[in-house]
Amino acid sequence: MNILDELSQNIAPSYARFPVAIARGRGSLLYDIDGKEYIDLGSGIAVNAFGACDEEWIKAVTAQLGQIAHTSNLYYSLPQARLARLLCARTHFKKVFFSNSGAEANECAIKAARKYSADKYGEGRSRIVTLKNSFHGRTITTLSATGQDGFHKHFGPFTEGFAYAEANNYEDTASKLSDDCAALMIELIQGEGGINVLEKDYVANLAKMCKEKDILFIIDEVQTGNGRTGKLFCYEHYGIEPDIVTTAKGLGGGLPIGCTLFNEKTAEVLAPGTHGSTFGGNPICAAGAISIIERLTDELFAEVNKKSEYLKTTLSALKNVTQVAGMGLMLGIKTAKDPKEVANECIKKGVLVLTAKDKVRLLPALNIPFDVLKKGVAILSEVIEQ
């Protein structure tokens, strides 16, 4: 039997996987089970913020392993408290709820928004507006929140109370923000939806309208957060202060952690007993996340932006490329070729890239060395121009 068939023998067939089995890695170089080297331009879908086996992260995680791995949320937790303090100190947020994934962070935001509205205005003001082509997760409720028909199959009945507006269409979005709405939840760059960047005016106008109507403005930064776009959070590019922000992916540097951030207005909504998670904010994951957040400095963001400029300039000059969209190290390349075909050809030549709808998607580690990036881009360019 082929080794990849063997590896998938007892795994539920829910993933259309690329024909690669990664065994180990160092930084932005990965090695498969046969020892073949790959330049990693996807970082495990924006998770390995500082690449594979990052030394400082290993130190932080192993130090915590030697203290305590798990305590349950029945007791106070040092790593959780430190991580929450770090996040709040660097933003306008006041309180944090920790979970284990992006979908859970969004579930928490949805619950909190509905409770905020019910506490203040009573039942019946629970609708949440999201955008068409969005992606918010795979639980039944976050599938409902996801504004793509393809995700509203197989698993019904779905959670009620969502409406979908057209991204970058203010009239349409405003018209959906009716009096029965509790919240508007959006990604500022639609990730899975194809690296679609929302326009500044559109977002600013929505922020204003939400504030006037006391509709909570929730930003899903599961993918865009934690330095990915050249700032700690992408909303900082937009000059807005959301009521709730969710994040996950890069936060744990490779370990599963999700987080929902609450501003002054929403800080007290999740009263004792209203929400919880056994593993949420686990000490090991929190310790890993602290080592990530502490190193998301202005110096690093300058590096991220320099690499971003390099990628945009180099890739948009290529034959067959019609658009390079995105911010920081979250970029989507539209080419004449099928993105999956590009990804598969890159794999053969030792480079891992992602796709998102009609684009080739790049989410390299924030600290990818310039020479490694250049080598990867040279191979990607060759494949695109062929």
| Candidates 74-82, 184-192, 198-206, 357-365; binding stretch for ligand PLP (CB under 6 A) | 184-192
Q: List the one residue out of 77, 51, 49 whose CA is nearest residue 64.
A: 77
- Which CB atom, from 354 or from 377, has the smaller least distance to ligand PLP? 354
Q: What is the DSSP string of 171-215?
A: HHHHHH--TTEEEEEE-SEETTTT-EEPPHHHHHHHHHHHHHHT-
Tell the residue number behind the tokens 């996040």, with chain if given: 87
| Candidates 4-12, 132-140, 165-173, 336-344; binding stretch for ligand PLP (CB under 6 A) | 132-140
φ, ψ (nearest 5 deg) of residue 359: -125, 155
Does residue number 135 form part of the binding site for ligand PLP (CB under 6 A)? yes
Q: How far apart are CA 230 and CA 310, in angstroms?
A: 14
- Which CB atom, from 147 or from 283, has the smaller least distance to ligand PLP? 147
Write each residue from 274 to 303 as x if it is in contact with ligand PLP (CB under 6 A), else as -, in one continuous string: ------------------------------
Does residue number 192 form part of the binding site for ligand PLP (CB under 6 A)? yes
* Contacts of ligand PLP in 229-248 (CB under 6 A): 248
Q: Which of 54, 187, 243, 345 binds ligand PLP (CB under 6 A)?
A: 187
- Which CB atom, from 54 or from 221, has the smaller least distance to ligand PLP? 221
| Candidates 17-25, 152-160, 219-227, 234-242; binding stretch for ligand PLP (CB under 6 A) | 219-227
Does residue number 223 form part of the binding site for ligand PLP (CB under 6 A)? yes
Q: Which of 51, 79, 147, 191 binds ligand PLP (CB under 6 A)?
A: 191
Q: How far apart are CA 334 and CA 320, in angstroms?
A: 8
- Which CB atom, from 125 or from 249, has the smaller least distance to ligand PLP? 249
For residue 121, give the 3-state DSSP assignment. Answer: helix
CA dihedral 19, 21, 26, 27 (to 10 degrees): 40
For residue 335, give the 3-state DSSP assignment. Answer: strand
- Which CB atom, from 28 or from 223, has the smaller least distance to ligand PLP? 223
- Which CB atom, from 224 or from 384, has the smaller least distance to ligand PLP? 224
- Which CB atom, from 97 or from 135, has the smaller least distance to ligand PLP? 135
Burial state string for 162-196 with b = 16 or more CB within 10 A and e = fewer than 16:
bbbbebeebeebbebbeeebbbbbbbbbbbbbbbb
The residue number whose beta carbon is nearest to ligand PLP equals: 102
Please report which residue ranges of 24-101 form alpha helices under DSSP H.
Answer: 43-46, 55-65, 78-89
Q: How far apart are CA 14 and CA 172, in angstroms?
A: 35
Interface positions with ligand PLP (CB under 6 A): 101-103, 106, 135-137, 187, 191-192, 220, 222-223, 248-249
